[in-house]
């Protein structure tokens, strides 16, 4: 499953969100938020994810990568007619910290405000009861930190055998925090036929190895932020 037939994009043709084929409720929500033109990472990643291909994205904070994977996930959910199955999720997003997991979940609710979408935040540092009750009904998207997710998987609270898409966000941060053994255990619980997307600010050898082991001929995109984060602070 090594990275072959890889395309690295350093430039992009500016498009409007309306050119990307996203479902109407999503377009309505992002218009309400005042967004019209996608960032480079969004313009490149959204069509790839909507095609169902695996992908590696090299992108730093400030490039708009959260919307780059949240919007196509919501589009996929909008196409589903069946409600989530108890203890299962359609999509899984792994993040290194509970703060980032919460931010991602907020983005899902914002961009999915005009459609029915359920999201569960599964993180450590809080009592598990609420997470267990939420998962009992089944959800569209689980946003999780690896340690707490593995705890729930091992007890059967969360089942991943029907998950269609998994996104690993901030892969190099999860490497720095020592999550790679846990991530490998989680990936082993996912179906072999799935879409896997990996975002990382850098591509150290261990992240490349993870991509080689779990992604199937992914497309690779790389962008740099249009502005450094400090320049965006008013």
Question: Reading across the β-sheet that carries 165-168, which strands appear in turn?
Answer: 119-122, 139-144, 89-94, 165-168, 195-200, 55-58, 219-222
Length of the chain counted residue by residue: 234
Q: pLDDT tens for residues 106-151?
A: 999 999 999 999 999 999 999 999 999 999 999 999 999 999 999 9
The CA angle 151-155-161, to the nearest 5 degrees, is: 90
Query: What is the per-residue pLDDT across 139-198, written as a single tens digit (0 to 9) for each?
Result: 999 999 999 999 999 999 999 999 999 999 999 999 999 999 999 999 999 999 999 999
Provide the 8-state DSSP code for 84.
P
- Kindly indicate the confidence band of residue 2, based on its pLDDT and cuts at 50, 70 and 90: very low
Confidence bin at 229 (pLDDT 50/70/90): very low
- Rounded Cα distance between 222 and 159, Å, is 33
Backbone angles phi, psi at 132, to 5 degrees: -65, -45
Tell me how far apart the alpha carbons of residues 155 and 133 are, in angstroms, rounded to a whole number: 14
Identify the residue whose tokens are 């609270």. 157
Report the predicted TM-score, pTM, of the whole model to 2 decimal places.
Answer: 0.90
Is 60 exceeded by the pLDDT of residue 79?
yes
Concatenating the DSSP letter of every residue in 203-232 gives: --HHHHHHHHHH-SS-EEEE---SS-GGGG
């Amino acid at each position: 499953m090594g990275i072959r037939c890889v395309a690295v994009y350093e430039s992009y043709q500016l498009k409007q969100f309306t050119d990307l084929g996203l479902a109407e409720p999503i377009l309505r929500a992002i218009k309400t938020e005042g967004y019209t033109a996608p960032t480079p990472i969004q313009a490149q990643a959204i069509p790839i994810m909507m095609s169902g291909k695996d992908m590696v994205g090299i992108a730093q904070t400030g490039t708009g990568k959260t919307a780059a994977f949240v919007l196509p996930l919501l589009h996929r959910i909008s196409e589903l007619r069946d409600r989530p199955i108890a203890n299962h999720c359609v999509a899984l997003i792994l993040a290194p910290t509970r703060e980032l997991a919460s931010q991602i979940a907020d983005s899902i609710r914002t961009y999915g405000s005009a459609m029915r979408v359920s999201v569960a935040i599964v993180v450590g540092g809080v009592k598990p009861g609420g997470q267990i009750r939420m998962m009992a009904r089944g959800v569209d998207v689980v946003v999780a930190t690896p340690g707490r997710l593995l705890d729930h998987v091992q007890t059967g609270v969360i089942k991943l055998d029907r998950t269609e898409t998994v996104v690993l966000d901030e892969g190099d941060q999860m490497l720095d925090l020592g999550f790679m053994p846990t991530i490998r255990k989680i990936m082993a619980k996912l179906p072999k036929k799935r879409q896997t997307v990996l975002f990382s600010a850098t591509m150290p050898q261990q992240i490349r190895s993870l991509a080689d082991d779990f992604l199937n001929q992914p497309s690779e995109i790389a962008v740099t932020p249009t502005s450094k984060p400090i320049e965006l602070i008013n």
